[in-house]
Amino acid sequence: MEPAPAVVLRGEGEPHLHLPQRRARRTGVGRILVRIALILVIAGCGLLTVLLIATDTGVTGFTVGTMLALLPVVPVVAAILWLDRYEHEPAGQLVFAFAWGAFVATFVSLVLNTSSMELIRAAGGDPDSAAVVVAPFVEETTKGLAVLLLWLFRRREFDGVVDGIVYAALAGVGFAFVENVLYLGRSFSEDGGGVTAVTFVVRCLFSPFAHPLFTAAIGVGIGIAASRRNPAIRLLAPVLGWCVAVGLHALWNLTASQGLQGFIGTYVALQVPIFIAAVAVAVAARSREGRLLRRHLAGYAEAGWITPAEARMLASLPERARARDWAGRTLGPQARLAMRDFQELASELAFLRDRMERGTAPAGAAEAELAGLQSMWRLRRGFVPVAG
């Protein structure tokens, strides 16, 4: 039998189940090489993207564009992470999704979109048509690759639709941020502050969720594939998600080409309902996570691993917050952190149990579940007051 897995506790990183070390040693070198390659690709594309945009906008335009483009990033990222409150994804993977969208997807899209415009112009066509017939395919494919890579290489942490939405939307935020730097910086350097203000309102206030929303459709598709065993569903769901993302993106670009008046009318009549529908899908996916937690944590309570009161607390976001506050007031900051780790690990175990029942869990899941449950017992000592 392989050695029991360990659990990393707060101070060493987010609570996370590690599968047996023998398997980790066999794949450790390969994973390190993949990470180095991805870092080099992201860094190289980032440098080239900055050079391309700065050359286009000038240093002043680049600086102004960057400052303005940053303004919507924080609230949009906060809204995306709000969906991920039951089980926070590893910070490194969240950063990867954002960085891939900001640098790799943007650089590849800049090159391919510009090249396609030149080809269309050389063929006697309207180069502006590339925004509808080329850009959506290129941009959604490159952004969606971030989610696909995370599913392929970090499958143990990819539980379902909510994870897919979070990663995809962050890739979209990264892409939108750099794209906004380009458009805002270009408008400032070419037309001055008045046009830049209009560009800011349209891109950063009217449509900060546009790119995250498009790519979230890919995240939904890959999230469905991650939680199903049926080969047809695992193949078709991501493809369908990609088609929806491309379609929404093409529709958005077509709307934007109709001028300001046409854009506002179509925005209210079409884009706002689409946005509301997307939010409803995301909230429904998170509600489903809550139901899964209640069901599987109740099973752990019946088996004696946690108490019924803990199971009820762990399945409710408001109760979780109150429990962390209680632990902090009662025993101090370390108890609060122990409670938070206890909650995070409970969520991870519940989702792992669901994947085990579905038959989509990774090898070694049973050992990881047992070790995680034992670790929850140890974590409990950090926030349960000692009598006497």
Q: What is the pLDDT of residues 252-303, one digit of tens each?
A: 888 877 766 667 777 777 778 888 888 888 888 888 888 999 999 999 999 9
Residue 264 lies in a domain: no
In a domain, 359, yes or no: yes
With tokens 């958005």, the residue in question is: 252
Per-residue CA distances from 4 to 26, 282, 355 (Å): 16, 36, 20
Q: Are residues 75 and 12 in the same domain?
A: no
pLDDT for the residue numbered 207:
86
The first and second tokens of residue 347, run together, are 């969520």
Same domain, yes or no, for 213 and 314? no
Per the CB < 8 A criterion, the answer to whether 101 and 172 are in contact is: yes
Diameter over CA atoms, the chain:
87
Distance CA 311, CA 327 (A): 17
139 with 12, same domain: the answer is no
Q: Are residues 101 and 223 in the same domain?
A: yes
Nearest-5° Cα angle at 65, 62 to 68: 150
114 with 229, same domain: the answer is yes
pLDDT tens for each residue of 46-90: 999 999 999 999 999 999 999 999 999 999 999 999 888 888 888
- The reply to whether 16 and 80 lie within a common domain is no
Classify residue 172: in a domain, yes or no. yes
Do 16 and 45 belong together in one domain?
Answer: no
> Residue 354 and residue 173: Cα distance in Å, rounded?
30
Rg of the chain (C-alpha set):
23
Provide the token pair at 160: 């379902």
Residue 329 and residue 383 in one domain: yes
Q: What is the DSSP letter of 14?
A: S
Kind and range of the H or E element at 156? none
Nearest partner of 7 among 378, 357, 356, 380, judged by Cα: 378
Predicted local confidence at residue 65, as pLDDT: 96
CA-to-CA distance for 372 and 350, rounded, in angstroms?
Answer: 10
Q: Identify the domain containing residue 196 by its residue range.
A: 28-257
Tell which of 208, 241, 257 closes a domain: 257
DSSP string, 296-363: HHHHHHHTTSS-HHHHHHHT-HHHHHHHHHHHHHHH-HHHHHHHHHHHHHHHHHHHHHHHHHHT-PPT
Q: Is residue 277 part of a domain?
A: no
Is residue 268 a part of any domain in this protein?
A: no
pLDDT beneath 50, residues of the chain: 1-14, 19-26, 388
50 shares its domain with 139: yes
Report strand pairing: 16-17 vs 7-8: antiparallel
Contact 7, 17 (CB under 8 A): yes
Please count the structural domains in the chain.
2
Q: Is residue 62 part of a domain?
A: yes
- Let me know: does 203 contact 252? Beta carbons within 8 Å: no
Q: Is residue 185 part of a domain?
A: yes
Return the sign of the alpha-carbon dihedral for residues 113, 114, 115, 117. positive
Q: Which of residues 257, 276, 296 is at a domain's end? A: 257
Q: Six-digit token pair at 2?
A: 């392989």
**15 and 36 fall within a common domain:** no
Whole-angstrom distance, CA of residue 38 vs CA of residue 252: 31
Q: Which residues pair with 7 in a beta bridge?
A: 17
- Residue environment code for 350-384, b if the CB has 16+ CB neighbours within 10 A, otherwise e: bbbbbbbeeebbeebbebbbebbbebbeebeebbe
> Are 293 and 253 found together in one domain?
no
Distance (Å, rounded) from C-alpha 57 to C-alpha 186? 5
Residue 271 located in a structural domain: no
Q: How much is the pLDDT for 17?
A: 56
Q: In this structure, are 315 and 178 located in the same domain?
A: no
